[in-house]
Amino acid sequence: MRHWIVLAALCCLLSPPGAPAQPTIPAEPFHDGLRGTTPLDEEAKPPLIFPTENKDVIRGRAYAQQPPTIPHKIDGYQVDKNANRCLSCHARSRAAESGAVPIGVSHYSDRSGATLGSLAPRRYFCTQCHVPQADTKPLVGNTFTDIEDIRVAPGPKPAAARRN
């Protein structure tokens, strides 16, 4: 018993002056970026899912080589190793009949650039690159400027360009 008293006295002497005896509780409640302020033992209310555009209007592209977006709903489409619903309309053999845009010829080339007689396996899962659109507010700001929109301001040329 006596040892405990000596040990407690030593701990009090060694602790820095003004150190709190109890842990402090932060002034603001804990805020998790994903859960918000919902307590861990409660289910968070999910955000609303915006409806997918179904306009069948081909959107412009923001940059060269951008995959085109899907201009219609694809809810319930089966795109897996067993079936690809996109091919029922967009396969080159079916596009004229369905009125859909046919799959681009680039999707019939393998990694080495050789042209195949059928869709390349690496291009089979359409939604890896092509996505449907929803009319929503952007989640992050975008300052992208197309190369054609960049204009060089008139003025003196750099010294390296003047020597030539």
How far apart are the C-alpha atoms of 44 and 39, rounded to whole Å?
Answer: 8
Residue tagged 């060694």 (tokens): 14
Q: Which residues define the annotated binding site for heme c?
A: 72, 86, 89-90, 107, 126, 129-130
Helix (H) or strand (E) holding 9: helix 2-14
Phi and psi of 144, rounded to 5°? -60, 135
Domains by residue range for the chain, with CATH: 50-134 (1.10.1130.10)
Q: Which residues define the annotated binding site?
A: 72, 86, 89-90, 107, 126, 129-130
| pTM score | 0.59
How far apart are the C-alpha atoms of 106 and 109, rounded to whole Å?
Answer: 6
In the chain (164 residues long), the average pLDDT of successive 10-residue segments reads 71 62 70 76 81 85 87 92 94 92 92 92 94 85 79 64 53
How far apart are the C-alpha atoms of 62 and 148, rounded to whole Å?
Answer: 11
